[in-house]
Amino acid sequence: MSASEFSAGTARERGTEPGGRVVVTGAASGIGKAVADTLHADGCDVVGLDRVESHGDYPVLATDLSDPDRIRETLASLTGTFTGLCNAAGVPGTAPWDVVLAVNFLGLRELSLGLTEKFEPGSSVVNIASQAGYQIAQDTGLADRVLAESEWGAVHDRLATDERFRADPYGFTKHFVHRATRRWAAENIARGIRFTSVSPGPVNTPIAGDFREHMGAERYDAAVRGAGRLGEPADIADVVTFLLSDRARWVNGIDLAVDGGLSAVRASAPAPSTNED
């Protein structure tokens, strides 16, 4: 069955529980699959997107979030209306910087803003961000300049020569997602479309090893100890499905840390001694 055959014909009316018709990126594995599985079990009509097409309880259509032309083709194939989107697809910092930029931010933006034209009032978008986005203490206005630039190539060219971005493309792209989520929430209030983001702690996904390599084993393992255990995709999926539902109808424009308390542990840690006594 082709992408063009997935129209609104099987959509159901939204209720107070998760329902309607929802697109989930990265639906073949990890957090994306857990979100798609949970939504399907809750009675949603799920359309998954990933790099390889597959068919099971719900369709997963092939696309490439690093390619703007493929994203536009995917948007054209998604006919009918939708009630939600979860942007769970992402690549770790071990990937080349331009791939990290494309998938984690530019592709997410292209898909999200393109799909909002097909959203019903009351729809919700949840972006999977990261704790790493909060490690960017000062971006010297970079996020504002990036968000103001609508052209994919112009953003790529600007960041290609930015030394701070090139030093931590993963952290910066997740920082951009935090900032973009708030901006898109404000811009879409009148249309009744909510935007939120979720920043997980370390989670047991197929690319957990890549994150451990990128962060460094000592820092990654300390984060797991701080959270009490390694998170599971279902820990994130339950929160995402709540944010996508009408039960979260008054939640908008925020990032929610879903990290088992890691943020609290870090904030409570004693400040390093200055040895000035």
Distance between CA 118 and CA 192 in Å, rounded?
A: 13
- At residue 272 the predicted structure's pLDDT band, cuts being 50, 70 and 90, is low
- Strand order from edge to edge, sheet including 54-55: 54-55, 59-62, 45-50, 21-25, 82-87, 119-128, 194-200, 255-258
Mean pLDDT of the 131-155 span: 93
Q: Is the pLDDT of residue 12 over 60?
A: no
Using CA atoms of 80, 85, 87, 89 in order, give the dihedral in degrees to the nearest 10.
-50
pLDDT in tens, 38-85: 999 999 999 999 999 998 999 999 999 999 999 999 999 999 999 999
Closest CA to 32 of 44, 55, 48: 48
Two structure tokens written together for 175: 């920082």
- At residue 139 the predicted structure's pLDDT band, cuts being 50, 70 and 90, is confident
Mean pLDDT of the 25-32 span: 98
Q: Is the pLDDT of residue 3 over 90?
A: no
Pairing state of beta strands 119-128 and 82-87? parallel
Q: What is the pLDDT of residue 19?
A: 56
- Among the residues of 15-141, which ranges form H helices? 30-41, 68-77, 97-101, 107-115
Q: Are 53 and 74 in contact (CB under 8 A)?
A: no
pLDDT in tens, 154-182: 999 999 999 999 999 999 999 999 999 99
- At residue 271 the predicted structure's pLDDT band, cuts being 50, 70 and 90, is low
Ordered by where they begin, the domains of the chain are 3-8+35-261 (3.40.50.720)
Highest mean pLDDT among 6-15, 16-25, 135-144: 135-144
Mean pLDDT of the 225-242 span: 95
Distance between CA 170 and CA 130 in Å, rounded?
A: 9
pTM: 0.90
Strands (E), the chain: 21-25, 45-50, 54-55, 59-62, 82-87, 119-128, 194-200, 255-258
pLDDT in tens, 75-119: 999 999 999 999 999 999 999 999 999 999 999 999 999 999 999
Q: Write down the mean pLDDT value for the chain.
A: 91
